[in-house]
């Protein structure tokens, strides 16, 4: 049964990543163009340029998809997402600071859950 769940989660993550890939490529191209123009942090028409909302990268999307099925430890997220632990920890920090996920405890170990799922 656990294998079926992991297969389902992996399939959902792959599907979401496939749908998001064109948007990520466009974002990266636009970011490069903006950098080339020297427009980052520049003032436009006398007003400070607003910072763009923090985008969730593919690793963050994979983690969020996995957490839709319940809380997971870093080790479990590694199995489900096939991401290295360091990358997971980096993404978890960003997701926590943006309020998308929270730290919880399960069986005496630190786990992570979607903010909406807590309680």
CATH number, domain of 52, equals: 1.10.10.10
The pLDDT tens digits of the residues spanning 17-75 come to 888 887 777 777 777 777 777 755 444 444 444 444 457 888 999 999 999 989 999 99
Full residue range of the structural domain in which residue 58 is found: 2-117
Nearest to 67 by CA among 118, 107, 21: 118
pLDDT above 70 covers a percentage of the chain that reads 82
Residues forming a β-bridge with 86: none
Which residue is it, tokens 């389902």?
8
Total-model pTM: 0.55
User: What string of DSSP letters covers 40-89?
Assistant: TT-EETTEEPPPPPPPP-HHHHHHHHHHTTS-B-HHHHHHHH---HHHHH
The total number of structural domains in the chain stands at: 1
């Amino acid at each position: 049964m656990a294998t079926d769940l992991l297969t389902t989660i992996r399939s959902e993550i792959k599907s979401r990543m496939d749908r998001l890939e064109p948007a990520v490529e466009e974002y990266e191209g636009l970011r490069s163009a903006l950098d080339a123009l020297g427009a980052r942090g520049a003032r436009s028409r006398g007003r400070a340029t607003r910072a763009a909302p923090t985008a969730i990268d593919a690793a963050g999307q994979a983690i969020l998809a996995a957490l839709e099925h319940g809380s997971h430890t870093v080790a479990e997220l590694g199995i489900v997402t096939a991401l290295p632990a360091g990358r997971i920890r980096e993404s978890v920090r960003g997701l926590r600071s943006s309020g998308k996920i929270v730290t919880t405890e399960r069986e005496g170990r630190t786990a992570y859950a979607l903010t909406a799922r807590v309680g």
